[in-house]
Amino acid sequence: MSVEPILEVRGLCKAFAGVTVMNDVSLQVRKGEVVFLVGPSGAGKSTVMRCTNFLETPDAGEVLFHGAPVDRSENGLNDYRARVGMVFQHFNLFPHLTILDNITLAPLKRGLLTREQAEQKAHALLKRIGLEEKATAYPAQLSGGQKQRVAIVRALAMNPEVLLFDEPTSALDPEMVGEVQELMRALAQDGMTMMVVSHDIGFACDLADRIVFLEKGQVVEVDTPEELQNSANERVRDFLARRQ
């Protein structure tokens, strides 16, 4: 695993309506690493993730990709988001498009692939997750777990260097959580760099290389799951002990 961070946030701050939800947050993600952001509700985890991808504009601080500050111009952000993919809690698939069209839309709009290349890649990705027969279906015809796997495949179609996951299983029925987690484990084994916001402490402890514990909009501690479970900070130990 590389020592140099591929993705880094420095001193991020964000307030909504005068209420600070993220205060001086700094963290790093190295190539091939899986980093989980955990903490109680309202800790600022999703705000960190959304500011990392500039879906929210931080009030202060910066995001670096391969050591350079992200270019926040429209073209700069489009390039950045093509390399740093995002998977959302509620899938965000276009309901009026088929699964195939959902997956091929971004690479075609960005001019990265021809239609034939994009469709070939989409079929290959769908085959990998066992949903090739759903290519012509619409999102409403899929289960929650299937939709989330398609959302992950849609992000993979752009050949991202990093994937950001914001609560990828929290909107799923319990029996559907496993199939999404299985895909994420496979991506980790393939060396995909990932930053994940999750309330599933057991999954975080099983998959993460490092865990970032946040509370009240601040980073409290960052370490391996093993080290954090033996942390000198009683609050961190107690929180991680609640494995799901």
For the chain, give percent helix, strand, coil, nearest 5: 40, 25, 35
Which pLDDT score is estimated for 147? 92
By three-state DSSP, how is residue 221 classified?
strand
Q: Is the pLDDT higher at 180 or at 11? A: 11
| Other CB atoms within 10 A of residue 89 CB | 17
CA–CA dist 81, 162 (Å, integer)? 9
* pLDDT tier for residue 22 given thresholds of 50, 70 and 90: very high
| Residue written as token pair 């479970």 | 229
* Strands in the chain per DSSP E: 5-16, 19-30, 34-38, 60-65, 68-69, 84-87, 162-166, 193-197, 210-215, 218-223
**pLDDT at 174 > cutoff 90:** no
**pLDDT at 243 > cutoff 70:** no
By three-state DSSP, how is residue 19 classified?
strand
CA–CA dist 167, 46 (Å, integer)? 8
Indicate the average pLDDT of the chain: 93
**pLDDT at 2 > cutoff 80:** no
What mean pLDDT is predicted for residues 59-86? Answer: 95
Length, in residues, of the chain: 244
Tell me the CATH number at 115.
Answer: 3.40.50.300
Q: Please tell me the total count of domains within the chain.
A: 1
Pull the structure tokens for residue 83: 């390399």
Range of the domain at 116: 5-240
Pull the structure tokens for residue 145: 């777990």
CA–CA dist 100, 137 (Å, integer)? 8
